[in-house]
Amino acid sequence: MALRTILLVGLLALLGGCDTTRHWAYDQGMAFEKWRAGLDDRRVETEDGLNWHVLTSDGDRDAPVVVLIHGFGADARNWVHFANEVEGDYYLVVPDLPGHGQTTPRTTDMDYDISTQAERLFTLLDTLDVDRFHVAGNSMGGAIAIEMARRQPDRLLSLGLVDSAGLTLQTAEFLNFLEQSEGNPLIPHSAEQFHTTLDWASERSVGIPDFAITLMGEEKAANADVAEKVWRDINLDPAMRLMGRGVLPEIKTPTLILWGREDRLLSLDNVKRFQQELPNSRAVVLDGVGHVPMAEAPEESAAAFRGFWNDVQP
């Protein structure tokens, strides 16, 4: 799972002690990981004025399409190791959501509620001529995937919920922290704070060396104002609090619920509740894994999804 190439060039960068070299090392290592996963960087302009950054498979477009949606404060890179495990069998579409990553514009003037993001994704998929597809979303991305299943169910082959929001039953630990702290650990305002973000999000290593985490932290900190706006928008959205509202039982799409047992953000109680409310669902819980199983345990996560997708092929 480790970014072996990043570790190698990162060692050279650290020995050189040059920020420019460190950036080069990280960029080259990530480029290699995307190449190894069969992913190409693309820019896609849509009619709603967005310029998307999307990772797409460079392989057979006739293969089943899988759309992978990252969580709050993250971007498409969270899925690269997972993509490497399923490379060649599926055509992957992995976007940076508006407000995240390299998709532009990225401003505090936009709306980032769940339904708006779902409609934006449908517009992107229409532009890419993607009709039917599997979709899997992590955290906030799971809530968006649920909304997609509600709005255009005939287009979805399956739904994947990876430590997903939607019910959004947060752990007591996380709720207590938010109540007692002036800041949100998921919104770093400095490069150093991103190390804390990862401590909350992951139980296992996500295979990124410290120097690269710091570089990513610089990116996240520069986007903190937008992240604060996204956080406000999603937490005011009823789509993040679906329990008992009669919404989920109407979703008939085959659903896989994948969860890390050590998730410090969204409680394991979500799994049972999702299974109770989603009539056509199954669950897999991974031991020793936190909030981002696809990055922490890509082999196990991919194996769970591969078996699930094989069962629901049209």
pLDDT tens profile 287-299: 999 999 999 999 9
Q: Are strands 133-138 and 91-95 parallel, antiparallel or unpaired?
A: unpaired
Task: List, for residues 158-201, the tens digit of each pLDDT value.
Answer: 999 999 999 999 999 999 999 998 889 999 999 999 999 999 99
User: Is the Cβ–Cβ distance between 240 and 138 less than 8 Å?
Assistant: no
List the domains of the chain with CATH numbers.
1-36 (no CATH), 40-311 (3.40.50.1820)
Task: List, for residues 45-81, the tens digit of each pLDDT value.
Answer: 999 999 999 999 997 788 999 999 999 999 999 999 9
Please provide the DSSP assignment of 49-105 as one string: S-EEEEEEESS-TTSPEEEEE--TT--GGGGHHHHHHHBTTBEEEEEPPTTSTT-B-
Does pLDDT of 10 surpass 60? no
Whole-number mean pLDDT of the chain? 92
**Residue 240 pLDDT:** 97
**Residue 12 pLDDT:** 46
Strands annotated E in the chain: 39-45, 51-57, 65-69, 91-95, 133-138, 156-162, 255-260, 281-286
Does pLDDT of 17 surpass 90? no
**Residue 59 pLDDT:** 77
Q: Fill in the amino acid letter for 36.
A: R
CA nearest neighbour of 97 among 70, 116, 78: 70
CA nearest neighbour of 300 among 213, 176, 204, 199: 204
Average pLDDT in the 25-35 region? 88
